[in-house]
Amino acid sequence: MSNHHVRPTKRSASIRLVSIALPVAVIIPAVIYVFWPRPNELDDTIVKQIVKQAGFDPVVPPNRLRGPGALYEVEGGFYRKVCDADPAVVAEKLKESPTQNQSLERLENGRFSLGGKFVGMLNAKLGGSRVTSIELEMTHVRIGEITMSDLNDIEDNLLHQKSCDEVVNRLLKANTKVCQGYAALSATTRYKVHIDTKFDSRAEDTVPIMKEVQQAIQQDTDGQIRIQGTDELSGDNLFYGIQLNTLCITPDTAIEKSYLPQSPVQQGPNQPAGGT
């Protein structure tokens, strides 16, 4: 265990980062099959519980909106993104390596689908009940994390940005925790789109529907979603769990260090999982 201090910005001499060394990042050679409705179905609640047991806050369905490097406000069991790290820098610094995790292996052959609310919103855009359900298949499940030295550099750069620095200072003055994401669970996700038979008698009839589904999922995940066939889409490295640094940004005037609660925090109220 080691403690590091972020150099204070010219505008934020009162802020320092207290952090600890964290384990090396890992890849989990697991495959998650997600179907609905089928036997042995895992609903969203069970999936979230499994992700929490692995020490991560769930992001279900998986997306790119929650991830390492960014700063998050943590309050009352919920968190919201404060400052977003440069995706190119995060991709360069995020490290992965093989491991085994019995808790996450429980997700293998688990089954669930995108929620009915999402499908309903999609059909509203399409002007009718064209999509009946969307199944998910996840492969190449990984854990990736950023080293503490790289996290410190990323946070230092964020605090040198005027808008980020001002928001962080306001939150700290309000006694709100501000913590940095350092690890994430990710997976390659395939989407199987089921279209009402009266709309899919010919392949060309499904093209506008699939394009609308692609756009909707892409907006919802903040990831690149590709059309793979007449009824399938795919997205690489979508996050379905995030872990925040245990020790957070602490003002110099504070008597005690700022720690996260022991149990994983939840998504904010009235926000989609992984939302900003």
How many residues are there in the chain?
Answer: 276
What pLDDT is stored for residue 105 in this prediction? 65
Copy the structure tokens of residue 77: 């069991």
What pLDDT is stored for residue 12 in this prediction? 43
Copy the structure tokens of residue 177: 């925790």
% of the chain with per-residue pLDDT over 70: 70
% of the chain with per-residue pLDDT over 90: 23
What pLDDT is stored for residue 232 in this prediction? 92
Q: Is residue 94 within 8 Å of residue 146, measured between CB atoms?
A: yes
Judged against a pLDDT cut of 90, whether residue 181 lies above it is answered with yes
> What integer is the mean pLDDT of 20-33?
37
Is-above-0.85 flag for pTM? no
CA angle 9, 14, 15 (to 5 degrees): 70
Task: Using alpha carbons, list the distances in angstroms from residue 11 to 15, 63, 166, 171, 263.
Answer: 9, 34, 8, 15, 33
What pLDDT is stored for residue 149 in this prediction? 92
Name residue, tokens 């179905």.
41
Judged against a pLDDT cut of 60, whether residue 228 lies above it is answered with yes
Most confident range (mean pLDDT) of 11-20, 34-43, 102-111 is 102-111
- Dihedral of alpha carbons 272, 144, 236, 44, sign: negative
What pLDDT is stored for residue 106 in this prediction? 64
Rounded CA separation 55/274 (Å): 16
> What integer is the mean pLDDT of 245-256?
80
Q: Is residue 2 within 8 Å of residue 17, measured between CB atoms?
A: no
Per residue in 134-163, pLDDT (tens digit) is 888 777 778 899 999 999 999 999 999 999
Pairing of strands 266-267, 78-83: parallel
Pairing of strands 225-227, 266-267: unpaired
Per residue in 28-69, pLDDT (tens digit) is 333 333 333 343 456 667 778 878 887 888 887 788 888 899
pLDDT band at 250 (very low <50, low <70, confident <90, very high): confident
Torsion of CA 191, 192, 196, 201, to 10 degrees: 120
Most confident range (mean pLDDT) of 126-140, 203-217, 224-238, 257-271 is 224-238
What pLDDT is stored for residue 35 in this prediction? 36
